Structure 1
């Protein structure tokens, strides 16, 4: 893997060569639970896939198979003032449970980052929901809009049930959904699991998704 750093004159200042790390053992495993997409309509995979070139999460065991998903129209994720959350196509879009399970964690009171570009590094997941699907599999829905979460801890949900709205809370640079499946509900110690998707083998960076 090559990283390039430029100076203020747009000249190459540093070239960093690093070995591309791969984890074939965990890449080969999929969740026992089959998951459907956690949204409807047209979305875009900003980060996703089984290597660091297309998924910056991949190097961290806790987020290795996570996805960052946005909405794009005519090549842009927003229209209007880029500093306002409401300008982003993803902001306020409904988010749904990707499989049946029990809600085990809800956070709903964290402000959406404003202006866009500021990030809350103290509460990295922002407003989020975690669902226990059994088999040691938990789905995460992070960076949701403040006050939008419509479920509570202990609720039993079905695939397709409403959870909340896409937002820009937590460690987020713009409105997007961070979705992943992991082996526990412990954000900092969990191990990410590769998703067994209902309608695709995987969704990699650059993929436009049309969900029913």
Structure 2
């Protein structure tokens, strides 16, 4: 596979996850092409009710502990076989923000994270070389990463746990493929293959079950 091809992945988790910022809706999916994010996708773990955490006064007016979210600590799996080329662990899992007030303050601090580079955006993460592409799984829980650079992994191996590190407003996993993680890196399209063999990019608002 060359870096110009679409990267075929398995869903990197089990259970129920809500799709956000999908490239099926628009490209660039996150509103920017910086750091190879043009075709990135986010998955938020949810319960049977489709919610990531109960709604409380704190969720309406303030910040919330990441531990109060149903998916915090869920295993994150290798979406393809390949070589681990980069790992970052040790970044804090910060408070979650779902209220308009909390999100506004967070948005104002976004330029400072961009200036600090890709690692400040990704937080704790694992990068796997899959053919000619680098596949990033970001926002992992501090202290949970189980792999190291140079290690070969097989699709389905546990890499770490869902967290809220880096540029994250609630616990979720960010998945992208790119040629590199430089500021002007080119993103590479993704497609996910189900257990039944269907190949597709999940839609925004869809709940996928793996």
Report the TM-score range of the alignment, normalised by the length of the smaller protein. 0.7 to 0.9
Verify: 1:48 aligned to 2:47, yes or no. Answer: no
Q: Is the 8 A contact 1:126 1:142 kept in 2?
A: yes
Residue of structure 2 equivalent to 1:198: 193
Aligned-residue offset at 1:115: 5.6
Q: Deviations over 1:175-198 (max 9, x none)?
A: 1100111122x2433211111322
Aligned-residue offset at 1:51: 4.1
Q: Is the 8 A contact 2:86 2:126 kept in 1?
A: yes
Where does the alignment leave 5 or more consecutive residues of structure 2 unmatched? none
Higher-RCO chain (CA-CA 8 Å, sequence separation at least 6): 2
Bigger helix share: 2
Deviates more, 1:105-114 or 1:197-206: 197-206
Aligned-residue offset at 1:110: 0.4
- SS at 2:121's partner residue? coil
CA distance in 2, matches of 1:45, 1:110: 24
- SS at 1:124's partner residue? helix
Q: Which aligned segments of 4 or more residues in structure 1 are displaced greater than 3 angstroms?
A: 50-53, 115-120
Question: How many pairs does the alignment contain?
Answer: 179
Deviates more, 1:118-127 or 1:36-45: 118-127
Aligned match for 1:76, one of 51, 59, 66: 51
Q: Is the 8 A contact 1:100 1:156 kept in 2?
A: yes
CA distance in 1, matches of 2:209, 2:203: 14
Change (3 A) 1:133 1:206: same
- SS at 2:30's partner residue? helix
